[in-house]
Structure 1
């Protein structure tokens, strides 16, 4: 049976891993990744299309300079994207987060296993926890980098705006504000780092104690050797 110290530390790491899993689920499920205001010219006026969307769905509404507001409509991101590049990158971000979700789940399983047993010499031990937490963190970080690239580099908001309004002409400008669905991915990184730190401190303490017990006899006090 594992010691009380090990149980408490791995239980803490388990909670951080489960929290990371829950946060990634929220990230995938909520459509508050970015809010964009995209301005276009139209015959004798200009139109501002306001969009709020995530990886799967979003909403948009348009405002004409004359003060006319068109009712809000809902759209599916994958259906509204016509560019292969934007659609492919959106799918890639989803895949990365699904893999991060699976990594977080595996990390939760590994920490739970270590809470009730002692699989030190196998991949189920701290090495496995290090691996899956690191994979989850790296995948999440890549997703955080790719999404702004798609929004601003591939003009994803402008592309989605064309699906929400007709007769749009020249693009006049865009403003983007990233929402909580995007920023809480930072919490995933923090939780993964916290898990790694907890396991590192336990593993380091165990290693130091083991080395202390294996100290060669020549390092023992002389009076003990003489005795």
Structure 2
């Protein structure tokens, strides 16, 4: 059976990782970004309209005012609409979803390994602390990549402009002054990253202390008193 110290560290690590999964689950169910633009119809150059796009990971809505005609609110499914738009936005969005799925997968692995190590003493293989290191570090790193890729897709590509044009039908629209704001779902990935690192740190603290203890138990003979070495 593992020591109380080991059980406590690995159990706490599993709990912290489970908490991070809950944070990410809520993040994936709420708004990630909102983009606003000024709008003019028919190439008139008179920008008296606005378009506001609110994006979640799987759904979104477009709130238009005189863009190109009177106001309306249109809801849409993100993935089918991005497929309609073109290759780059849908590819980046698919990367975000795949990375989030991998984050959850590695977090699940970290939880299982943490619980397994809290009740047993596996060898120093991927089933021991090394496995938690790998799973938690990959979760943290991939979540940072998610933040970067999603920000690029919303702010750098023409995703928002193309969405407005698909809802405008045959009427041409001119768009300018695009401003994007990240919403709660996007920012919740940051505490997920922090919690993943915290879970890793808990295991490192135990592993480092265990290593020092092993070193103390295996002192070289030259450090022993001369009286003992005589025998």
What TM-score results when the alignment is normalised by the length of structure 2? 0.90
Q: Does the CA-based 8 Å contact 2:35-2:181 persist in structure 1?
A: yes
Q: What SS does structure 2 have at the residue aligned with 1:92?
A: helix
- Alignment match, 1:75: 76
Q: What SS does structure 2 have at the residue aligned with 1:124?
A: coil
Structure 2 unaligned spans of 5+ = none
Are 1:49 and 2:46 an aligned pair?
no
What TM-score results when the alignment is normalised by the length of structure 1? 0.92
- Alignment match, 1:199: 203
**Where in structure 1 do 4 or more consecutive aligned residues deviate above 6 Å?**
none
Aligned equivalents of 2:24 and 2:172: distance in 1? Answer: 36
Larger deviation, residues 90-99 vs 212-221: 212-221
- Displacement, 1:68? 5.3
C-alpha distance after superposition, 1:137-188 (max 9, x if no partner) = 1111111100111112212122222234442422222111100100110011
Choose from 89, 94, 113 the match for 2:92: 89
- Alignment match, 2:193: 189
Q: Does the CA-based 8 Å contact 1:34-1:177 persist in structure 2?
A: yes
- Alignment match, 2:126: 123
C-alpha distance after superposition, 1:56-92 (max 9, x if no partner) = 1111211239x9532x221111222211111111111
Q: What SS does structure 2 have at the residue aligned with 1:118?
A: coil
Q: What SS does structure 2 have at the residue aligned with 1:29?
A: coil
Larger deviation, residues 175-184 vs 151-160: 151-160
Aligned equivalents of 2:106 and 2:210: distance in 1? Answer: 25
Choose from 150, 163, 166 the match for 1:163: 166
Q: Does the CA-based 8 Å contact 1:35-1:52 persist in structure 2?
A: yes
C-alpha distance after superposition, 1:187-226 (max 9, x if no partner) = 1110111011111110010011001101122211334435
Aligned equivalents of 2:172 and 2:216: distance in 1? Answer: 74
Aligned equivalents of 2:226 and 2:196: distance in 1? Answer: 47
- Alignment match, 1:154: 157
Q: Does the CA-based 8 Å contact 2:165-2:173 persist in structure 1?
A: no
Choose from 138, 141, 144 the match for 2:144: 141
Aligned residues between the structures: 224
Q: What SS does structure 2 have at the residue aligned with 1:170?
A: strand
Aligned equivalents of 2:136 and 2:124: distance in 1? Answer: 19
